[in-house]
Amino acid sequence: MDPVTLGVVAAGLISKFYEGALSKAVEEASKGLVDWIKGRFKGHEAGERALARVEDAPDSTSRVKALEGIIEEQATADPDFLDQLAKLLEKAQPTAVQGHAATSGAQSPAFGQISGGNVSVDYGTTPPPPAPLP
């Protein structure tokens, strides 16, 4: 995964962890991610502050976005951080859930919390059938 995607996924998962909105299995794996991020951000003032602000208000979009940016910066600057974060996120991903959503309108689909899978948006075409579960 690229640093931007890692930042988005990690910050989203951390916010859901603090909201208590994860299944037990995902919560346990996510705790490892949260603890690791806390350790990596120790002494990094902006990182510590961004993480604390998400912990205080995990449903705040602006706070989650700020954490995304800090994680992205770290992942871009430090290849080891990027690799370790990617491995932790792989462990923390929820079990595959299949679903399908269709929207209509002037190319304005809306998405809610999507994690643990691939998302594609096609305009003017019929979506392909879902892939079989492993």
User: pLDDT per residue over 114-132, tens digit each?
Assistant: 555 555 555 566 667 777 7
Residue 120 belongs to a domain: no
Residue 111 belongs to a domain: no
Q: Tell me the average pLDDT across 83-90.
A: 90
Residue 121 belongs to a domain: no
Residue 125 belongs to a domain: no
The domain total for the chain is 1
Q: What residue numbers bound the domain in which 12 lies?
A: 3-92
* Residue 73 tokens, joined: 């910066």
Residue 113 belongs to a domain: no
Residue 54, exposed/middle/buried by CB under 10 A (0-12, 13-18, 19+)? Answer: buried
Q: Tell me the average pLDDT across 1-24.
A: 86
Residue 101 belongs to a domain: no
Residue 50 belongs to a domain: yes
User: pLDDT per residue over 34-81, tens digit each?
Assistant: 999 999 999 999 999 999 999 999 999 999 999 999 999 999 999 999
User: pLDDT per residue over 44-54, tens digit each?
Assistant: 999 999 999 99
Question: Residue 50: which region, alpha, beta or left (left: phi > 0; alpha: psi -120 to 50)?
Answer: alpha
Q: Give the span between the Cα atoms of 22 and 9, in whole angstroms.
A: 14
Q: Give the span between the Cα atoms of 134 and 23, in whole angstroms.
A: 20
Residue 10 belongs to a domain: yes
Q: What is the pTM of this model?
A: 0.66
